[in-house]
């Protein structure tokens, strides 16, 4: 083992790590987690001006979804999920659901995590038949205890959030929520 600075661990493999190494590393987890809200807000910003041909850009869609949920009296956790549900859209459109679900998982209920991870199948009900797909693909999940929860999310908030005339709250409105929910250990 080298004589590395003690503000960093000294191992080159986990197998040779020591308790002293981990005493240096573990406090840094809180520092890293503290930066998550800034990175999430930055990633949401990448959705701005990326409309993909939709009537509104991807950020506005996310803001509309969250605003609709908030105005309908949903709790903060649900509103956070509504805001983040499509955060991966610009990065990886074919499995964007996994990105938002992974970010939220440590901070949300099993029901809301499942909703985020599966909303694409449920959203497909509204348009996949126009593309030659199976609009009822969501039925494969009918036995899930979260089926109706996800079905309602898409029906009430997600599939309706493409209105250029809707006045959603700006991203700054949701910033305190993102910071409060994602800025520290779950």
Give the per-residue pLDDT at 109: 98
Superfamily of domain 36-181: Hypothetical protein af1432 (1.10.3210.10)
Predicted confidence (pLDDT) per residue in 49-95, tens digit = 988 999 999 999 999 999 999 999 999 999 999 999 999 998 999 99
Q: What's this model's pTM, rounded to 2 decimal places?
A: 0.91
- Cα end-to-end span (Å), the chain: 34
User: Which of the four pLDDT bands, split at 50, 70 and 90, describes residue 6?
Assistant: low
- DSSP labels for 46-78? TTTT--TTSSS-HHHHHHHHHHHHHHTT--HHH
- Secondary element (H or E) of residue 165: none
- Mean pLDDT value across the chain: 94
Report percent pLDDT > 90 for the chain.
90
Give the per-residue pLDDT at 68: 98
Give the per-residue pLDDT at 1: 43
What region, left, alpha or beta, does residue 171 occupy, with left being phi > 0 and alpha being psi -120 to 50 degrees?
alpha
C-alpha–C-alpha distance, residues 102 and 9, integer Å: 27
Q: Where are the domains of the chain?
A: 36-181
């Amino acid at each position: 083992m080298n004589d590395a600075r003690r503000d960093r661990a000294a191992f080159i493999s986990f197998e040779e790590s020591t308790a002293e190494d981990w005493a240096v590393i573990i406090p840094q987890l809180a520092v890293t987690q503290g930066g998550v809200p800034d990175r999430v807000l930055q990633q949401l910003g990448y959705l701005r001006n990326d409309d993909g041909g939709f009537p509104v850009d991807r950020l506005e869609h996310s803001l509309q979804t969250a605003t609709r949920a908030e105005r309908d009296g949903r709790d903060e956790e649900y509103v956070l999920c509504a805001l983040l549900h499509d955060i991966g859209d610009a990065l990886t459109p074919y499995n964007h659901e996994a990105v938002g679900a992974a970010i939220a998982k440590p901070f949300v209920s099993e029901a809301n995590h499942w909703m985020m991870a599966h909303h694409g199948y449920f959203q497909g009900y509204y348009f996949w038949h126009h593309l030659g797909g199976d609009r009822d693909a969501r039925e494969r999940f009918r036995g899930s205890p979260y089926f109706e929860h996800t079905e309602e999310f898409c029906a009430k908030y997600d599939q309706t959030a493409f209105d250029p005339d809707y006045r959603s709250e700006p991203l700054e409105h949701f910033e305190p929520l993102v910071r409060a929910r994602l800025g520290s250990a779950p």
